[in-house]
């Protein structure tokens, strides 16, 4: 298991999501950890209500 997999496991992020970039900004106080998480186009996601695999209909960048 690599460090990216361990980080995703600790954050509770699972497939189809993947950690594609990580960066620690130590110039800021407190330090900032920047993570970029993506999924392949056309990936299916479990519905939070029924659990059925569904396509995404929008995306949003969050900070």
Query: What does the block give as tokens for 28?
Result: 């800021």
Query: What does the block give as tokens for 50?
Result: 């029924």
Counting Cβ atoms within 10 Å, is residue 5 exposed (0-12), middle (13-18) or buried (19+)?
exposed
Structure pTM? 0.66
The pLDDT value recorded for residue 16 is: 86
The pLDDT value recorded for residue 62 is: 75
Instruction: Return the closest-CA partner of residue 33 out of 1, 59, 7.
Output: 7
Place of tokens 């993947």: 18
Q: Give pLDDT tens digits along the chain (63 positions).
A: 788 788 888 988 888 888 888 899 999 999 998 988 888 888 898 888 998 998 877 777 777
């Amino acid at each position: 298991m690599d460090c990216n997999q361990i980080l995703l496991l600790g954050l509770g992020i699972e497939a189809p999501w993947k950690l594609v970039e990580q960066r620690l900004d130590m110039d800021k106080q407190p330090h900032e950890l920047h993570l970029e998480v993506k999924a392949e186009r056309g990936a299916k996601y479990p519905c939070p209500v029924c659990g059925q695999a569904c396509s995404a209909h929008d995306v949003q960048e969050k900070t």
